[in-house]
Structure 1
Amino acid sequence: MIDTHAHIDAEDFASDLPNVLDRAFASGLEYIIIPAIEPKRYDNLFKVADSDSRIYCGMGVHPHNAKEVDNHILKVVYDTAKSNDKVKAIGEIGLDYYYDFAPPDVQKKALREQLEIAKDLNLPVIIHNRDSDEDLIKIIQEAQDGNLKGVFHCFYGDVEFLKQVLDLNFNVSFTGNITFKKFDAQETILQVPDDRYMIETDSPYMTPVPYRGKRNEPSYVKYVAEKISEIKNIEIEEVIRMTTENAKKFFSILSLGCLILLGNINLNAQIDDEVYEDEGQYYNKLIGIGPVLGTNTIVESFTPRPNNVSYEGIIAYGGTVHFGIFDYLIIGGTYLYSKNTKLQEDFDDLEPNIHQQIELTANFIVNPYSRINLYGFVGPSFLLNRYGVPGNLGGGSEDKNSLGLNTGLGFYFNLPINGAGVLTFSAEWKLNFMFQKQNFEYDSRERPESPRRNDPVEVSTFFSIPRMNILFYPSF
């Protein structure tokens, strides 16, 4: 479990915070997120966050304190969020028209400024909303450019408002008020997609039944999970599993073991991109597989007697597997095969050259929440090359393998398939550079009758490959 919203930096916990944390982690909590409220509490916020590796925080100014927001405070928020690894979100920010701590126009200005900070730093936002639905949705719509994600915390709205939030590529989070007798938004909980909600306590507030009337604390988040399991008629273990995965993905929380061993990565994906208008259902990109087709241009640089030789239009084909790590990061593994028969057009004593490329790439997505994603990539390659040998040197072929580096640019086009997953089309231009130069006992530039045919040469090679990928990510 993860308590995604707990104000354990508040004065309410000053006397017994160590005991509160002991109970929280003993109850099964993995992490706690503390949203920031106001500048005067920042020091204590980070004191608490720094006290345990399982505690992270947000950074920002609550709408109640919007009148405190000026250029200095905005710089503090920006610089701290950028430099401190404990900060996983911008928040708690938003609008609150129920109370009159700050005029609406002041709140709106503070919200817009902090949304821009979140976009600039590629951090999610934690949204506070009370009696401000219309203005809040409008401001986020204006700010949403495909690079903004967030969560409406303590969500208590009808299905129509839920759909508006999901259409913004935002998530929702439920707290202890769903256990109250007067709670009447059960249909909202039934309709929210499994990968679009999280759980929280909002400690020390919103204490769930059976402890209502007492101070709330993170260990009580299990009662929120229990109520959701009751409403959805699913096992509580499933609620805990889903909300934990959603929170780890949302806040980009990755364990050390996951960084060391890909096989242990909780491969939660990324592009919660397009919603079906009839269902409001989003799909994760977890594991994708598909074919690759392109054209390979091989450029060889010779020494001595330097010059470049290129072979263009060689068909290259293979397959690829992609693993979603974060919203902005996909790890790909690709095999590509191409046969260069261009030499045979001039030299019939040579076998075709065979080039096989095994690539591992890290694809960094610029705008992960759009239907069309732009990305750049880089990674190592293992290049398996088989070259034809002239007949006067015995004929046949010889293998010359090399490590290499691949890099390039591309874009994804994501097409959700109702009930099945996501079909992704990508076009990319990839360069593959061989690290090792290859030594040959013959010069493939020279005709068989040339006296320089048997001169030793050294060749460096790179491959330029515009290509298309089709990937299918099933919905698990």
Structure 2
Amino acid sequence: MILTDTHTHLYAEQFDEDRALIVNKALDLGIERFFIPAIDSTYYERMFALKKAFPKNIFLMAGLHPTHVRENYLHELAIVQKQLESGSFYAIGEIGMDLYWDKSFIKEQQKAFRAQIQWAKERQLPIVIHCRDAFDEIFEIMDELCDDHLTGIFHCFTGNQQQAEKVISYGFMLGIGGVVTFKNGGLNKFIADIPLEHIVLETDSPYLAPTPFRGKRNESAYLMNVLGTLVDLYGKDAEEIARITTANSQKVFGI
């Protein structure tokens, strides 16, 4: 059984004391593929070091996270463009809009999102979308720019069934992580109505740890808890869910 964590920040400071141990723990469980989203320019050195340490298992993205879109966003976007020129990235992400923490840069977030979507089309790369309190705003841009040349993942999907179906209509996958294990998360009420062919697995570690680790540091090994919940909800065995979701990740990322 091979599993894929399509969204994990293994380079984050929270893993500085035991990063290799955390990666190897996940590998021992059959989690063999880790897709690594970018945040801003300050993290690329860490990302490259992680790739060097686990070259067969780590797959990097480049992008500007919406919560890091600030006054200097044009400078940050220029760095993303420069990174993409290297050709060593498998997606542009994570990108999108986040209106939960701060709405003061909403226009800049929209511009950054649009620009990075265009780069994805030009380079035939998928995008990985971060959406928090911004479904309407993101859907407005996607309705305008999404076409047959754009694919990707709505990372950490936390919307309702109607929003899930809207995402699927774009040809995008739903990134399902720890939230599906929360009794009050909402996803567990309808996710089994969504065919597995539209789902990929993720942790978003070190954030959003699943039950029973909620509130603690998340890690890629906890993808097993997400898998276990989906086994219960779909009534399918773990091997089948692992096979389908990893095949979905291969379809999105091309590897």
- Give the TM-score, by structure 2 length: 0.94
Q: Could you list the runs of 5+ residues in structure 1 that have no partner in the other structure?
A: 254-476
Gaps of 5+ in 2: none
Runs of 4+ in 1 over 3 A off after TM superposition: none
Which of 59, 69, 78 does residue 75 from structure 1 map onto?
78
Bigger Rg over Cα? 1
Task: Describe the superposition over 1:374-432 as per-residue Cα deviations: whole angstroms up to 9, x where unpaired.
Answer: xxxxxxxxxxxxxxxxxxxxxxxxxxxxxxxxxxxxxxxxxxxxxxxxxxxxxxxxxxx
Partner of 2:90: 88
Task: State yes or no: 1:193 paired with 2:195.
Answer: yes
- CA distance in structure 2 between the partners assigned to 1:6 and 1:43 by the alignment: 16
Aligned counterparts of 1:124 and 1:102: Cα–Cα separation in 2: 28
Answer 1 or 2: higher relative contact order, Cα 8 Å, separation at least 6.
2
2:234 to 204, 220, 232: 232
Question: Does 1:55 find its partner at 2:58?
Answer: yes
* 8 Å Cα contact 1:157-1:188 kept in structure 2: no
Q: How many residues align?
A: 251
Question: What amino acid is the match of 1:73?
Answer: E
The answer to which structure has the higher helix fraction is 2
Query: C-alpha distance in 2, partners of 1:56/1:194?
Result: 23
Check the 8 A contact 2:196/2:244 in 1, yes or no: yes
Question: CA offset at residue 73 of structure 1?
Answer: 3.0
Amino acid at match of 2:80: V
Q: Distance in 2 between matches of 1:44 and 1:205?
A: 18
Q: Contact (CA 8 Å) 1:66, 1:102: kept in 2 or not?
A: no
> 1:164 is matched with which residue?
166
Higher strand share: 1
Q: Secondary structure at the match of 1:227?
A: helix
Maintained 8 Å contact 2:40/2:76? no
Taking the TM superposition and a 5 Å limit, the aligned residue runs for 1:240-319 are 240-253=242-255
In structure 1, the residue matched to 2:213 is 211
2:43 and 2:122 mapped to 1: Cα distance? Answer: 24
CA contact (8 A) 1:58 1:90 kept: yes
Deviation at 1:10, TM superposition (A): 0.7
CA–CA separation in structure 1 for the residues paired with 2:39 and 2:12: 10
Which aligned pairs between 1:359-398 and structure 2 lie closer than 5 A? Answer: none
- Cα distance in 2 for partners of 1:101, 1:37 equals 18
CA distance in 1, matches of 2:247, 2:188: 22
User: SS of the residue aligned with 2:22?
Assistant: helix
- Deviation readout 1:311-333 (Å, 9 max, x if unpaired): xxxxxxxxxxxxxxxxxxxxxxx
8 A Cα contact 1:151 1:172, kept in partner:
yes
**Residue 146 of structure 1: CA displacement?**
1.5
With the length of structure 1 as denominator, give the TM-score of the two structures: 0.51
Which residue number corresponds to residue 34 of structure 2? 32
- Cα-Cα RMSD: 1.4
